Amino acid sequence: MTPADQDNSVPAEGSSGYLPVPPPPPQATRLQRAALIIGLLIGFWLTLQLFGSVLAPFVAAGVLAYALDPAIRSLHRLGLSRGLAAGLMIIAVLLGVLLFALLLYPLVIVQVSLLVTRIPHYATLVQDWSKHMLSHLQEQFGPEVVNDKIRDLVAGQAGSMLSILLSTFTGLIGSGFAIFNLLSLAVVTPVAGFYLLRDWPRIVRMIDSWLPYRYRDVIRAQAREVDRVLSAWVRGQALCCLFLALYYATTLTIAGLDLGLIVGLMAGVLSFIPYVGTITGGVTAIGLAMATYTHWSGVLMIVGILIVGQTLEGYVIYPRFLGDRVELPAVWVIFALFAGGAAFGFVGVMLAVPVAATIGVLARFWLRRYLASPLYLDPPAT
């Protein structure tokens, strides 16, 4: 037996011979690890590119399952099977959506019909207002800066913009693809959501079993951090949108504002995009108030409602339901939503916040690694 054989062998029990020691498992190289990460990212991107048009109900089902999983766990601890709890929860969500639609559908239809019939009136008001403003500017700065042609052109175009926006909106709503997407969301999402809710622990365990041994603890720690940030944002933002939509829709309708219900719901729902819901709802409400009321007292009342809503949002609702638990800067959320929508449409919008939360957690992790590494701690050369 050679010395090399002796180095790779151990004495066998009950005998004087030797058994070979198995060689150590091969180590993955940096190139292999980088290739795996790049391959996963490319696969994710290709999936969104190729199947983005049909992924919307499945992504919505994933979001629904993620949001409802804590409630399912609570029901499971009470003794219900996970399948029964998932079925009851999906039925409760469907009944809630149906009840909400039945209560609001007649009011929304009435206000949409009102909007369609009043578009010419609003267009005339916009034309008169723009013409008056340009005439005032012409008096202030002279005809060299604002001449009659510019004034007539702007006044005419300002009035026609509302008709263009209305026709675009109705075209999008009435298009066959939009109807197909709506039907697929209404039919496929509850079914896929039920199966995801029922099998959620098994899916998580399966994905956990795929994690590489060497980085398993690190990946689990970062996944828990992503879950903490994302769950706080999703559930907190949903409650904030609900309270704001109820407040604005109720107060603007009671105040007698034309389309107050639609404007209030729009301001509340869009508030999940920082500042967008506030600006859109505020500008629309004030514009409609100026067209609805004949005295400035009505406009000031609408402004007061908006100010109270902003005060509640900034000092009561957001600190109560979000607070410091969400480490997602507003600018980062806005960029992620618009970038996801521009790149992958509606699916990109739904995936924007989870991806933004993941990138934020990983960036903070690598920043901590960098601050503790010799790359940062090496003293300056003497």
Mean of the per-residue pLDDT values of the chain = 78
What pLDDT score does 183 carry? 64
345: pLDDT strictly greater than 50: yes
Cα 128 to chain center, whole Å? 39
Q: Quick one: average pLDDT of 362-381?
A: 87
Q: Quick one: average pLDDT of 235-239?
A: 80
What pLDDT score does 85 carry? 92
Angle at 25 between CA 20 and CA 28, to 5 degrees: 160
Q: Quick one: average pLDDT of 94-100?
A: 84
HSE, CB side, 13 Å, CA atoms: give it for residue 52: 19
What pLDDT score does 258 carry? 77
- Closest residue by Cα to residue 79 from 67, 90, 88: 88
99: pLDDT strictly greater than 90: no
Question: 292: which residues sit within 8 A by CB, 6+ positions away?
Answer: 256, 257, 258, 298
In tens, the pLDDT along 207-226 reads 999 988 888 999 999 999 99
Cα 166 to chain center, whole Å? 25
353: pLDDT strictly greater than 90: no
Higher pLDDT, 370 or 164: 370
pLDDT range class, residue 3, cuts 50, 70, 90: very low
Higher pLDDT, 137 or 364: 364
Cα 234 to chain center, whole Å? 8
Q: Quick one: average pLDDT of 29-52?
A: 87
308: pLDDT strictly greater than 50: yes
Which tokens go with 30? 């940096």
Q: Are 270 and 240 in contact (CB under 8 A)?
A: no
In tens, the pLDDT along 123-159 reads 666 666 666 666 766 666 665 555 555 555 555 555 5
What pLDDT score does 194 carry? 93
Q: Which residues are bridge partners to 11 per DSSP?
A: 18
What pLDDT score does 317 carry? 76
168: pLDDT strictly greater than 60: no
Quote the CA–CA distance of 135 and 148 in Å, as a whole number.
Answer: 9
Strand 9-11 relative to strand 18-20, pairing: antiparallel
